[in-house]
Amino acid sequence: MKTILNFVFLIFLVSNTFSQQTKAVKSEDLKSAYDIQDSVMIETRDGAFISAMVVQKKGVSSPRPILFQFTIYVRDKGRDIKSLKEAADNGYVGVIAYTRGKRFSQSEIIPYENDGNDAYDVIDWISKQKWCNGSVGMYGGSYNGFTQWAVCKKMHPALKTIVPYVANRPGMGLPMENNVFINPNYEWSFYVGNNKYLDTIAGNDRQRFRKMQWKWWETGEAYKKMDSIDGTPNRLFQRWIKHASFDKYWQKMAPYKNDFSQINIPVLVFDGYYNDSQNSSLYYVRELQKYNPKTPVYVIIGPYGHFGTQVGGEKELYDYKVDPVALINIKKITYQWFDYILKNGAKPEMLKDKINYEVMGANEWRSASSLDKMTNGFLKLYLTEQKSGSFYVLKDEKPTQKKYLYQEVDFADRQIQNNEYYPDPIIRKEIDTTNGFAFISEPLKESVLINGSFLGEIKASINKKDMDIGVTLYEVMPNGEYFHLSYFLGRASYAKDITTRNLLKPNEVESIPFSNTHLVSKQLSKGSRLLVVINVNKNPFSQLNYGTGKEVSDETIEDAKEPLKVKWYNDSFVKIPIWK
């Protein structure tokens, strides 16, 4: 037995030694397989320097198309170099460049503001290299998605396509949504702005920022004092909150209005129904379809979150078991797209039409020629004052008599929070009905496919000059559970124009339209009902709008002496997009 054990150990030892030698050989082969330039510095037109890396296959002498990423997230020893090698393995030259001030760049780190021009200059440099065949494609998610659109504000002739995943649009989605600043964006400025790489210590210190957030909520300090409460100055936060309007500061960072008319390259967009920045990402698509409908822009969208979209989906999202067919190989589709555009390959099979979306509950993909064509009808439902059990009634007929529901919100009372709109979990046993108003429809007589972004118009009068409102849409399933479909969060004074604040007139009935909601596709079963919850936004997770009409970041609990009094009128309505 001892001899056998020694023999087995010897076999293991030899095998393990061989395995280690094989790994060493493979590692050496892998290293020698690539030509890696990891310390490239590219000068911009205004004299700044951008740090970049270039990876190509060794032994390749002919020029190749380029796959380019431009990002603020520096992970040069891991994910970044891996992605560049993948590009080389697929017959491209991989290039990644980091935003001004990151990695080896000596400039100040200021997200968003210089990225469009800097990415243009990097593309210009790439186009002049001997290993470039004159064609550049860009891809990547979140911030990397934003930089792709940003460089399209002025088109470079070498840029042939972009593939943005869950792209951000500064000023729209983050750090504010429909002109309301959102707290979870606060710590991000430390994460990306504290050093040349990423401040993972600050970025992962959730306890620190939760403590700051709750202290701000409990003390009633002005929103602009958030960093004073934290004890660490936040220069980027202070820079951003000076621009509550979608003004020229935000407009110049990425294409705006007529800028879209000169974008003529094919685009492939990936997004998710539960991506927090969806209204940013789809803003670009809608504006491009509006200003240049001839540009081929494709979308793949399904039941994904912000991070899940970038990996092709997750089996479970916020406790919801995703349809199996929704899980996709996003990397494979991305490379198929680049081969299609840059190498005259076949179009990805998944792109049946311009808009390709997974229908939750049906476990199937459908397609449409545009975002608008996802819908061929609307359910228009009025928010009435009539009771239906613990809810109010959603009716498809406009009330004949004008009446209202009354709500009083005491911003000085920090024991009560209003507006539980966030979709986590997606399916829940109950919803908060302790404040605000919930309106329910009759049971559906047949199955209905909700397809698109819901919209509506709130008719209300208040005793102050402004308020932030939330509108949340649910399916009440036959088993009584609530399926979160979509939501809206926005500031009433910007409802008609996000670029200019128009204060409400106290005690006069105002029309507050809303449309920038989260797109969704969901098969509703027969017997389900629709539920709309409307509320004043008052919680620790975003700015508090006390309604004085002053700059909201300057308001404090001293401005909460008089409660906000709201009359929600029964000719308010929602329009829910459906496919018949």
Peptide bond just before 303 cis, omega within 30 deg = no
Cβ neighbours of residue 13 closer than 8 Å, sequence gap 6 or more: none
**Which of 340, 374, 408 delimits the end of a domain?**
374
Q: Interior CA angle at 317 toward 313 and 323, to 5°?
A: 65
8 Å CB contact between 497 and 349:
no
Considering the domain architecture, whether residues 408 and 549 belong to the same structural domain is answered as yes
Instruction: With respect to residue 526, please indicate whether it lies within any of the assigned structural domains.
Output: yes
8 Å CB contact between 538 and 418:
yes
Considering the domain architecture, whether residues 143 and 155 belong to the same structural domain is answered as yes
Instruction: With respect to residue 293, please indicate whether it lies within any of the assigned structural domains.
Output: yes
Cβ neighbours of residue 492 closer than 8 Å, sequence gap 6 or more: 460, 466, 467, 468, 469, 504, 510, 512
Considering the domain architecture, whether residues 235 and 261 belong to the same structural domain is answered as no
8 Å CB contact between 185 and 174:
yes
Structure tokens at 142: 């979140």
Instruction: Calculate the CA 567 to chain-centre distance.
Output: 33
C-alpha–C-alpha distance, residues 51 and 139, integer Å: 18
8 Å CB contact between 480 and 528:
no
Cβ neighbours of residue 327 closer than 8 Å, sequence gap 6 or more: 312, 313, 314, 315
C-alpha–C-alpha distance, residues 91 and 160, integer Å: 17
| Residues linked to residue 162 through DSSP beta bridges, in sequence order | 138, 267
8 Å CB contact between 144 and 70:
yes
What are the residue ranges of helices labelled H in 293-433?
A: 306-309, 330-342
C-alpha–C-alpha distance, residues 575 and 382, integer Å: 9
Identify the burial level of 303 via C-beta atoms within 10 angstroms of its C-beta, where 0-12 means exposed, 13-18 middle and 19 or more buried.
buried
Instruction: With respect to residue 352, please indicate whether it lies within any of the assigned structural domains.
Output: yes
Instruction: With respect to residue 24, please indicate whether it lies within any of the assigned structural domains.
Output: no
Instruction: With respect to residue 194, please indicate whether it lies within any of the assigned structural domains.
Output: yes
| Residues linked to residue 186 through DSSP beta bridges, in sequence order | none
Q: CB-hemisphere CA count at 13 Å for 23?
A: 6
Considering the domain architecture, whether residues 530 and 494 belong to the same structural domain is answered as yes
Instruction: For the chain, 580 residues long, give each residue's pLDDT as a single digit of tens.
Output: 333 333 332 333 333 333 343 343 344 445 579 999 999 999 999 999 999 999 999 999 899 999 999 999 999 999 999 999 999 999 999 999 999 999 999 999 999 999 999 999 999 999 999 999 999 999 999 999 999 999 999 999 999 999 999 999 999 988 999 999 999 889 999 999 999 999 999 988 999 999 999 999 999 999 999 999 999 999 999 999 999 999 999 999 999 999 999 999 999 999 999 999 999 999 999 999 999 999 999 999 999 999 999 999 999 999 999 999 999 999 999 999 999 999 999 999 999 999 999 999 999 999 999 999 999 999 999 999 999 989 999 999 999 999 999 999 999 999 999 999 999 999 999 999 999 999 999 999 999 999 999 999 999 999 999 999 999 999 999 999 999 999 999 999 999 999 999 999 999 999 999 999 999 999 999 999 999 999 999 999 999 999 999 999 999 999 999 999 999 999 999 999 999 8
Q: How many residues are given for the chain?
A: 580
Considering the domain architecture, whether residues 384 and 369 belong to the same structural domain is answered as no
For 207-235, the DSSP string reads HHHHHHHHHHHHHT--GGGHHHHHTS--H
Instruction: With respect to residue 313, please indicate whether it lies within any of the assigned structural domains.
Output: yes
Considering the domain architecture, whether residues 433 and 520 belong to the same structural domain is answered as yes
What local confidence, expressed as pLDDT, does residue 233 receive?
Answer: 97
Identify the burial level of 384 via C-beta atoms within 10 angstroms of its C-beta, where 0-12 means exposed, 13-18 middle and 19 or more buried.
buried
What local confidence, expressed as pLDDT, does residue 567 receive?
Answer: 98
Tell me which amino acid residue 135 is: S
**Beta strand 377-388 with 520-524: parallel, antiparallel or unpaired?**
unpaired
Tell me which amino acid residue 278 is: Q
**In which domain, by residue range, is 211 found?**
185-240
Considering the domain architecture, whether residues 212 and 357 belong to the same structural domain is answered as no
The whole-model pTM stands at: 0.93
**Which of 326, 345, 374 delimits the end of a domain?**
374
Considering the domain architecture, whether residues 456 and 357 belong to the same structural domain is answered as no
Considering the domain architecture, whether residues 425 and 296 belong to the same structural domain is answered as no
Structure tokens at 151: 């460089």
Closest C-alpha to 88, from 118, 109, 116, 67:
67
- Strand 297-305's sheet: what is its strand order? 34-43, 49-57, 93-98, 64-71, 132-141, 159-165, 267-274, 297-305, 355-359, 364-368
Q: What CATH code is carried by the domain that includes residue 472?
A: 2.60.120.260
Residue carrying structure tokens 């209005």: 257
Q: What CATH code is carried by the domain that includes residue 110?
A: 3.40.50.1820
Considering the domain architecture, whether residues 439 and 351 belong to the same structural domain is answered as no
Residue 219 neighbours by CB distance under 10 Å:
13
**Beta strand 437-440 with 391-395: parallel, antiparallel or unpaired?**
parallel
Considering the domain architecture, whether residues 570 and 506 belong to the same structural domain is answered as yes
What local confidence, expressed as pLDDT, does residue 31 receive?
Answer: 59
Report DSSP state, residue 198.
Answer: -
Closest C-alpha to 546, from 354, 432, 410:
410
| Residues linked to residue 301 through DSSP beta bridges, in sequence order | 271, 357
Q: What values do phi and psi take at 414, rounded to 5?
A: -95, 10
What local confidence, expressed as pLDDT, does residue 393 receive?
Answer: 97
| Residues linked to residue 575 through DSSP beta bridges, in sequence order | 380, 455
Residue 334 neighbours by CB distance under 10 Å:
21
8 Å CB contact between 381 and 573:
yes
Instruction: With respect to residue 228, please indicate whether it lies within any of the assigned structural domains.
Output: yes
**Which of 374, 403, 419 delimits the end of a domain?**
374
Instruction: With respect to residue 419, please indicate whether it lies within any of the assigned structural domains.
Output: yes
8 Å CB contact between 310 and 330:
yes
Considering the domain architecture, whether residues 282 and 431 belong to the same structural domain is answered as no
Q: How many domains does the chain have?
A: 3
For residue 392, CA distances in Å to 159, 224, 309, 530 come to: 54, 38, 36, 12
For residue 288, CA distances in Å to 263, 281, 291, 296 come to: 8, 11, 5, 9
Instruction: Calculate the CA 538 to chain-centre distance.
Output: 22
